Amino acid sequence: MQRKGLALALVAMLAGAGILFVQAASHETHEHHRHHESHRSHPARDSAAAQDAQPAQPVQAQYKRPKQLAVPADAPQAWLNECGSCHMAYPPGLLPPKAWEQHMNTLSHHYGSDASLDPAEEQQIRDFLLLVSSNNRLPVEGVVSADAQPRITESRWFKRRHDEVSAAKFARESVGGAGNCVACHRNAERGSFGKVKIPR
């Protein structure tokens, strides 16, 4: 009888230890699962955190040419004579400096013509164009090669400003093409394009 009681007591002790073991194992498993969950990747949460960590992107500057197009009163006479003999002397601010460099480096085949200059005059005109156009920070646009120099009419701002002018109007004899600014802008050579009147 005493042995039977000891046996029952031993069974009870083992059962209690088993319960404690199961509880401890369950608690350990729960803690491990919670630890794993805290380190597991959550796409939505991680994406939001990444966006918060990224610096704010600057607003892209508006694409436009500079307003300072007025031609200086002391513009070289060589520029007026040489550049204005076949077409209007375009205000330098209409193109960026790199575009004028392209023009000055290809004068021997300037739109199909030889516009070569005396070295002294060429340097004087080059310096003037680069200085006055320095406010224009737009990229050189259009097709540019040894046989195709930069064109004002190929720039994005020109196309945007003239998007309502049809090809037929540009082709009018009274207009003389998209590059003949003075036909519609009477003060274009002075850098003023505010007043517009398209001739018939």
Give pLDDT, residue 168.
Answer: 96
Write the CA distances from 148 to 38, 102, 144, integer angstroms. 63, 10, 5
pLDDT by residue for the chain (200 residues), tens digit each?
444 444 444 334 434 444 333 343 444 444 444 444 444 444 444 444 443 443 333 334 455 655 558 888 899 999 999 999 889 999 999 999 999 999 999 999 888 889 999 999 999 999 999 999 998 888 888 777 766 789 999 888 899 999 999 999 999 999 999 999 999 999 888 888 888 999 99
Residue 3's Cα: distance from chain center in Å?
94
Give pLDDT, residue 69.
Answer: 80
Give pLDDT, residue 146.
Answer: 65
Give pLDDT, residue 65.
Answer: 57
Give pLDDT, residue 162.
Answer: 94
Give pLDDT, residue 66.
Answer: 58
**One-letter amino acid identity for 78?**
A
What would you report as the CA-atom Rg of the chain, rounded to the nearest whole angstrom? Answer: 39
Give pLDDT, residue 107.
Answer: 93
Give pLDDT, residue 185.
Answer: 94
Give pLDDT, residue 157.
Answer: 85
- List pLDDT tens digits, range 99-126: 999 999 999 988 888 999 999 999 999 9
